[in-house]
Chains A and B, each alone.
Chain A
Amino acid sequence: MSILELNGITKNFGGIHALAGVDMSLERGQVLGLMGDNGAGKSTLIKIIAGSFPPTSGTIKLNEKPVTFGRPREARDAGIEVVHQDLALCDNLTAAMNVFLGRELVRKVGPFRFLNRAAMNEQSAELFADLKSETRPKDLVRQMSGGQRQAVAIARTRLSKPDIVIMDEPTAAISVRQVAEVLDLIRRLQDAGLAVILISHRMPDVFSVCDRVVVLRRGTKVADKPIGETSPEEVTGLIIGAIEAA
């Protein structure tokens, strides 16, 4: 049974057709690679799924129920978490505070509510341990490596026990060793039964971690096939338009 189902998603910005009738579905425990050149419509599609703006037409079904999102918060509440390309971290705060930012745990004292830092540190430590990351909850994000920062951003998505995690170019700006770390993190999400959408430009990453690949070109879906039935050469051809569709 598919956890997410998109039907005929179209998005126009004024006269520009960013997306034209995209269908896509995603299953539990599946990692889907979403590929395409700049301007192909990847970001627009992701933003529609994440609730940043609604589609011009088309429907979104979550667990086979139609949904509409007015704000990112609603998508998050419905079980869709996004790891943004820039990770959306506050460098000046600790790892634990970043994990809980916007969803802080509080302790009631009379009419007042105070931050429960101890609980947040403890729970973050557990999340990092689950992700097999060395990140320490009380360290400032400013002092962290790229891989640790990814772990913080991913740990954040685990708070709400989501069904779907969308990762936007998580390996774009980090070193080779850290890429392996991040791919491990993705596999761990998959093991936990989540569905993951990975947006990436890096062919090796997609082929090492994804179950399926979807290619967008100029707002339309030109390919959607299991990773075992395609090759990096074919995907590259699809992206640049040398191959029309597959």
Chain B
Amino acid sequence: MNKDTPEPDNRPDWFGFAAKYAAPIFLLGLVLIFALLQPNFLHPLNLLNVLRQVSISGLIAIGMTFVILTAGIDLSVGSLVALAGLVGAYVSKGGLDNRFAIGAEAATGNPVIYAVLAAVAVGVVGGALQGAAITRLKVPPFVVTLGGLSVFRGAALLFSGGGPISGFSPQYTWWGQGRIGIVPVPVILFFSAAIVAHVVLKHTRFGLHVYSVGGNAAASDLNGVSTRRVTFMVYVIVGFFCGLASFLLSARLNSAEAVAGMGLELDVIAAVVIGGTSLFGGVGSIFGTVVGALLIGVLRNGLVLMNVSSFVQQIVIGLILIAAVAFDQYAASRSRA
């Protein structure tokens, strides 16, 4: 800050370029390596499988990107998915009486749209409660959502008596298992949501305020940005995506469970962070998050195809997460120098 105006530097900034596109470059590299080592990897069916596998956690990662951009965090997403999924399933079945019925009886109950609305409503309300606790009670997001992780899981267990609710109508499961052409439905939803989220973040006042609150909350307030409203809204948004994802997950597995989504928050946060969004807020993009989610999905799929032990997979994914953040830190320190 105490330096004079830097002279404009016209040399090509290879390092800056690499730092900006580290995740996509790494993703392309991985795809190349897996394609060479395991020809089945590029099979269109396999690629579509990978896309479908990442779309559910990817949807939540889109919401999580908003949260992390404001320098927040949401640890409760996995639990909220379990709760919202159960409520959606409950509505779809019209109660708990035929909770395990599969087949003809499954078609009874309420139309799918009610189930979706119920699941999304639970997600939105869950997010709003946490957002209110963070903005009104001034409890740090880490603590509020750590509490939420426990509260929502407990509520899910309580709601369902511990057991699953399963066996849905074909109209319901289509959303998780169906395809339009050859493309699985969740994949279409994931990419549509990503495009909308990108436009909101980059081209609306709200999006700009998400970045400004993450960059400097006090300054945003002084300039008339309602930090409180923006912060509240990002938790509502991630809650919305939890609700949507919970519906797709239960449709995919034909079952909503109180134990669904355990540890999901780690996958989701990993996708966002590997995608280059800073945990300190203010820096990141939906594009990065999509790449991060794909990167984790490709990595897992490729290692499974190559018959690498699951223990090793977990080590590799963890190391890549740390490497991604370390690289960001390094790049940030370079750009400040």
Contacts and interface: CB of A to CB of B under 8 A. Distances in A.
Direct contact of A and B (CB under 8 A): yes
Interface of A: 72-73, 76, 82, 84, 86-93, 97, 101-104, 106, 112-115, 134, 142-143, 145-149, 156, 173-175, 177-178
A88 B222 contact: yes
Contacts of A174: 1-2
A156 B224 CA distance: 12
Interface stretch (B116-124, B151-159, B202-210): B202-210
Interface residues of B, number: 29
B220 interface: yes
Interface stretch (B42-50, B160-168, B211-219): B211-219
Contact of B3 (A72, A90, A145): A145
26 contacts: A86-B219, A88-B222, A89-B216, A90-B211, A90-B212, A91-B215, A92-B211, A92-B216, A92-B282, A93-B211, A93-B212, A101-B224, A102-B225, A103-B223, A104-B205, A104-B208, A106-B205, A114-B203, A115-B204, A134-B5, A143-B6, A143-B335, A145-B4, A146-B1, A149-B1, A174-B1
Nearest to A144: B5
Interface-central residue, B204, B214, B222, B336, by most chain A CB under 10 Å: B222
Contacts of A175: 2-4
Given A93-B212, A145-B6, A177-B4, A88 B205 contact: no
A101 B6 contact: no
B283 interface: yes
A173 B224 CA distance: 25
Given A92-B211, A113-B204, A145-B4, 9 more contacts: A88-B222, A91-B215, A91-B282, A93-B211, A102-B225, A114-B204, A115-B203, A142-B336, A143-B335
Interface of B: 1-6, 199, 202-205, 207-208, 211-212, 214-216, 218-220, 222-225, 282-283, 335-336
| Closest 3 pairs (CB-CB, A-B) | A102-B224, A90-B215, A92-B215
Interface-central residue, A87, A90, A106, A156, by most chain B CB under 10 Å: A90
Nearest to B226: A102
A132 to B, nearest CB: 13
Contacts of B1: 145-146, 149, 173-174
B208 A148 contact: no
A82 B223 CA distance: 10
B90 to A, nearest CB: 34
A114 to B, nearest CB: 5
Contacts of A173: 1-2
A184 to B, nearest CB: 14
B219 to A, nearest CB: 4
A142 B205 contact: no
A113 B5 CA distance: 36
A91 B332 CA distance: 12
A68 B136 CA distance: 27
